[in-house]
Structure 1
Amino acid sequence: MLFPTATFAFFFFTVFIASWALRERMGWRKLLLLAASYVFYGWWDWRFMALLAGSTAFNYLAGLLIADSSGKLRQRVVVAAVAVNLGVLALFKYYNFFIDSLTDVLVALDWQRDLPFLEIILPIGISFFTFQGISYVIDVSRRHIPPVRSPVDLFLYISFFPQLVAGPIVRASHFLPQLERKPDLSRTALAWGLLLVLSGMLKKTVIAHYIAVDLVDPVFAQPDIAASGDLIAAHYAYAVQVYCDFSAYSDIAIGVAALLGYRFRRNFDRPFAAASLQQLWQRWHISLSTWLRDYLYRALRGDKRDAGWRMYRNIFLTMLLGGLWHGANWTFVLWGAIHGIGLGLERFVKTRWHAFKTARADATPPLPSRRPGAAQPPADTASAWAGAFTGWFVTFHLFTLSAIFFRSPDIQAVWSYYAKMLSFTGGFEALTPFLLLLTAGAVAVQFLPGNLFERAADKLCDAPAFVFGLMLGGGLVLIDIAGPEGVAPFIYFQF
């Protein structure tokens, strides 16, 4: 069941009405949302409802056992719980990838063997609900949250349909307390939710769709015959497509949750305006970036006291595994490695530059003021702007160029794409002014103030009810007119 479809609109309208009718009966409301979440997930393939339920039941029991144990037993239960979660994820997502890789190694060594391949269907959203289960048992072990005693609460937390199949990755410490409070559909939440839903619909059904269908898909499908100008344009366009596609799902998920009375944290915050790789990863897929920081990087002892080669090792390993999380392909592994190396180099340069400036300042005596209390000369704003632009330019192009790994089916296709793109043979054949406007416009709006949605929602709070209806109805009609027939699945469904 896809968000921007008539089927989901009918489903959500039914759930919306029924859930608010039960707002005084919290137990029944939770059961309704839980049942709706399993219907939503089972709409794709009902057989994997058992996997979702089994994963949740396991983490529920693990949380209780962790809370009731101590010492080495507690540590062993935590390790076992994380291992089982990762084992299930590895079986469905990475088994054939590892078998293929092992087969290639054996062939290269002339030790070819018949290895067991399995026809495994990748369940939608398995990475997301697995990560939520892992974060829950680790938070219980760290005593950040108490164990959930109500099975319904944990089952609803893991399976809540707005974020179930493509995130954002919601923390138990943020969501579970909301289940204990009586929901309230304030005018602020209503305005916020409607604006996010409309924003997501626009980005997915208009911007991401036209960029993909008219430029990215045909160019990446046959890069050998595409003009180099189109290859250059397509690699920018694909980065924009991924952003619009995934942030659209996050917007709709956060908006739908708000309309049901629950607040999710922002998952994207203008990443293409970032002036450094560190800043970009603080703004892109924030729920995954913070998850990797809190449960992987810090597990590798990557805290502020970490220094030297170990810090750079931990950064690299975190991004390498983050790349592998995105897909069972060496292209994703190399994509993660590129960003791990980039973050490490960026940290190294910043550290050395800071040390240089500190030493220079200590060695240079301050210039005396012309008179007591006189203002110091203004900072060199031109050099500051130049530095910020350089940082943005390098960051943006590292991200877009590395996105070719993200989109290509294998390593050979990546090198072929780069070679043809850098040959500079041929102009722009697939790129049109409309596609250029969509791509450049999607990047340009990243430089607008980050609180525009909040300000717009505040303005709408005082508007009459019919204004909300007109905004939703009129927005959907305009998006439907501008958009295509049918909707492609979201990119992150495969993760």
Structure 2
Amino acid sequence: MTIELNKIISLLTYNPKNPILFNSAFFMYYFAVFLLFYLAASSNKRARVAVFTVFSLYFFYMACGMYVGLVLLSAVVDFNLSRWIYRSEKAGFRKRLLILSIVLNLGLLFYFKYTNFFIDLMNEMAHGNIQPLKLILPIGISFYTFENLSYTVDVYKREFKPVDDFMDYLFFLSFFPKLMMGPIVRAADFIPQIYKPYVLDREDIGKGMYLIIAGLFKKVVISDFINQNFVQYIFDDPAKHTGLECLLGVYGYALIIYCDFSGYSDMALGIARWTGFKIPANFDSPYQSSSITEFWRRWHISLSSWLRDYLYIPLGGNRKGKVRQFVNLFLTMLIGGFWHGASWNFIFWGGLHGTALAVDKVRIDYLKQKGGGPSGFWGGVLKVIGVLITFNFVCFCWIFFKASTFSDAWSLIHQVVYDFQPEVWLELYNGYTAVFWVMLLAFVLHFLPKKMELGTENLLGKVPVVGNVVIMVVFIWLMAQVKSSQTMLPIYLQF
């Protein structure tokens, strides 16, 4: 009896070697229990909020242990500061409170995420010997920090009235579907939904089902499979592989990071939909983009729109001349790169995208002066060329995003340029046949028309609830058959 009890306790407590994930077996049981309690409380707003918040905090505890306290601390600080800001009539005092909120939020983020980066930088510049701190990056801190900041800024600008009930704010901040890896949700989009009665219609069921199944498929079948069986070998030591292998490894990584991150975002949206909340989409087939500007309207939409509204526009946006606009674009993406991690690789990655956005702005302005580009057949040809150029540029940038060091990144590029060896393609295909077919499948699915996705959602919405349960159970069973025994942590968990 004691042994069984200890086993149950160990399953219900945080294990740093096995954090809770959307694709873990424990999450399936957790989510089933959560739904039972949530449905029981569905008719009462306060009860719904309480149940969801408790389960969200427990979910976060199972993901990162006692760091769940940072979410509580952030909620307490920004809930009170935002109310103080809103009630004050003195402009100077309100501004000081806003600055305090920004300093506290960014200070917490900088301490955990960038302290050791700057210690290393000071050691290099001053030949010092300061020992790095033993810090562990709390999961999700980059996401809920940005949500806190957008909330207080919107309250300061009087674009949003702060909530009166602390539990409502804690619920918004800790909402478990998006807590660890986003999307970054604005309070103005989310909080009004708290006060609406819980209604689940066929559209919600179909949309939620499609998003959850699609997300799991992207993560488990595509991303994890390609990563474990091909791409991780390439990036571990690029110099050991031919240029052709390295190039295909880069294309594989482009699929991995998209399917991994958008897969989790899809699951977050689907779970939210089943619980009565609509979260804005975070991805929109980004590799279909025909320009880098379009790419950033389709990739990690919640981050790119946050950077636009709370960084690019406050810097001056396009209101202070062309040169300043280009500088603002570059700085915004440079900071966006730094947001991803304390590494020169991320900063360089952001700088590449910032430069490309500035150059693309020149192209857009030129086309506007000429009355737009060609249409018809030649317009279609140029669009295809644009998609190919944009995709390959994004893939080039992914090299620096993925590589552990600059040296590894340049080593991979060197292999592609100077040691391509196209004659090994048949041997390579025979060695990684399944991987390349999965990659092809992923590209085909990515470029399918949007109407096919909508048709699948509508079809699932017409299936009775019992039928949906059967579909989900069968799908989860199939995922269990192909899922690797090795846990593949989501890429964006590190951000």
Q: Specify if TM > 0.5.
A: yes
Matched residue type, 1:494: Q
User: Secondary structure at the residue paired with 2:35?
Assistant: helix
Matched residue type, 1:455: G
Q: 1:430 to 1:76 in 2, by over 3 A?
A: farther
**Per-residue deviation at 1:350?**
2.1
- Tell me the residue number matched to 1:381: 376
Q: CA RMSD in A?
A: 1.7
Larger RCO (CA within 8 A; separation ≥ 6) = 1
1:263 and 2:278 are equivalent in the alignment: yes
- Tell me the residue number matched to 1:254: 269
Tell me which protein shows more helix as a share of its residues.
2
Report 1:311-322 matches (<5 A): 311-322=325-336
Matched residue type, 2:129: D
Correspondent of 2:55 among 36, 41, 58: 36
Query: Deviation per CA, 1:68-92, whole angstroms, max 9, x where unpaired?
Result: 1231111111112112111110000
Matched residue type, 1:53: L
1:189 and 2:239 are equivalent in the alignment: no
- Tell me the residue number matched to 1:369: none
Query: Deviation per CA, 1:433-492, whole angstroms, max 9, x where unpaired?
Result: 322222233223232222433332223333233321222122222222233224311100
Q: Can you give the 5+ residue segments of structure 1 that lack an aligned partner in the other structure?
A: 107-111, 362-378
* Stretch moving more, 246-255 or 38-47: 38-47
1:95 and 2:115 are equivalent in the alignment: yes
Correspondent of 1:308 among 322, 333, 337: 322
Q: Are the counterparts in 1 of residues 209 and 460 from structure 2 also a CA contact under 8 Å? A: no
**Per-residue deviation at 1:56?**
1.1
* Stretch moving more, 14-23 or 458-467: 458-467
Matched residue type, 1:104: E
Correspondent of 1:276 among 278, 281, 291: 291
Correspondent of 2:391 among 389, 396, 400: 396
Correspondent of 1:223 among 224, 238, 259: 238
Q: Are the counterparts in 2 of residues 97 and 328 from structure 1 also a CA contact under 8 Å? A: yes
- Tell me the residue number matched to 2:14: none
1:433 and 2:433 are equivalent in the alignment: yes
Q: Are the counterparts in 2 of residues 242 and 491 from structure 1 also a CA contact under 8 Å? A: yes
Correspondent of 1:13 among 20, 24, 32: 32
Q: Can you give the 5+ residue segments of structure 2 that lack an aligned partner in the other structure?
A: 1-19
Percent identical across equivalent pairs?
32
Matched residue type, 1:46: G
1:347 and 2:355 are equivalent in the alignment: no
**Per-residue deviation at 1:330?**
0.3
Q: Are the counterparts in 1 of residues 281 and 301 from structure 2 also a CA contact under 8 Å? A: yes
Correspondent of 1:84 among 96, 104, 108: 104
Correspondent of 2:46 among 15, 27, 32: 27
Q: Are the counterparts in 1 of residues 243 and 415 from structure 2 also a CA contact under 8 Å? A: yes
CA distance in 1 between counterparts of 2:58 and 2:313 reads 37
Q: 1:316 to 1:203 in 2, by over 3 A?
A: same
1:125 and 2:140 are equivalent in the alignment: yes
CA distance in 1 between counterparts of 2:375 and 2:302 reads 37
- Tell me the residue number matched to 1:51: 70
CA distance in 1 between counterparts of 2:107 and 2:131 reads 17
- Tell me the residue number matched to 2:94: 74
Query: Deviation per CA, 1:194-240, whole angstroms, max 9, x where unpaired?
Result: 11111111111110011101111011101111122110100010011
**Per-residue deviation at 1:357?**
4.8
Matched residue type, 1:168: P
CA distance in 2 between counterparts of 1:104 and 1:258 reads 49
When Rg is computed on C-alpha atoms for both structures, the one with the higher figure is 1
Matched residue type, 1:489: L
- Tell me the residue number matched to 1:481: 481
Query: Deviation per CA, 1:416-447, whole angstroms, max 9, x where unpaired?
Result: 11111212344345552322222233223232
Q: Are the counterparts in 2 of residues 215 and 430 from structure 1 also a CA contact under 8 Å? A: no
Matched residue type, 1:349: R
- Tell me the residue number matched to 1:295: 310
Correspondent of 2:411 among 408, 412, 416: 416
- Tell me the residue number matched to 1:148: 163
Q: Are the counterparts in 2 of residues 281 and 289 from structure 1 also a CA contact under 8 Å? A: yes
CA distance in 2 between counterparts of 1:255 and 1:486 reads 25
**TM-score (normalizing by structure 2):** 0.92
**Per-residue deviation at 1:307?**
2.7
CA distance in 2 between counterparts of 1:314 and 1:158 reads 29
* Stretch moving more, 436-445 or 76-85: 436-445
Correspondent of 1:60 among 71, 79, 85: 79
Query: Deviation per CA, 1:310-354, whole angstroms, max 9, x where unpaired?
Result: 000110011000011111100000000000000100111221233
Q: Are the counterparts in 2 of residues 196 and 254 from structure 1 also a CA contact under 8 Å? A: yes
- Tell me the residue number matched to 1:491: 491
Q: Are the counterparts in 2 of residues 270 and 450 from structure 1 also a CA contact under 8 Å? A: no
* Stretch moving more, 292-301 or 432-441: 432-441
Q: Are the counterparts in 1 of residues 202 and 461 from structure 2 also a CA contact under 8 Å? A: yes
Q: Are the counterparts in 2 of residues 214 and 430 from structure 1 also a CA contact under 8 Å? A: no
CA distance in 1 between counterparts of 2:437 and 2:454 reads 26
CA distance in 1 between counterparts of 2:85 and 2:369 reads 45
User: Secondary structure at the residue paired with 2:314?
Assistant: coil
Question: How many residue pairs are counted as aligned between the two chains?
Answer: 470
**Per-residue deviation at 1:356?**
4.1
**Per-residue deviation at 1:271?**
0.3
* Stretch moving more, 174-183 or 447-456: 447-456
* Stretch moving more, 430-439 or 87-96: 430-439
- Tell me the residue number matched to 1:373: none
CA distance in 2 between counterparts of 1:461 and 1:332 reads 41
CA distance in 2 between counterparts of 1:78 and 1:54 reads 17
**TM-score (normalizing by structure 1):** 0.92
Matched residue type, 2:91: G
Q: 1:380 to 1:88 in 2, by over 3 A?
A: closer
Query: Deviation per CA, 1:247-296, whole angstroms, max 9, x where unpaired?
Result: 01001111111111111111111001010111111011111111111111
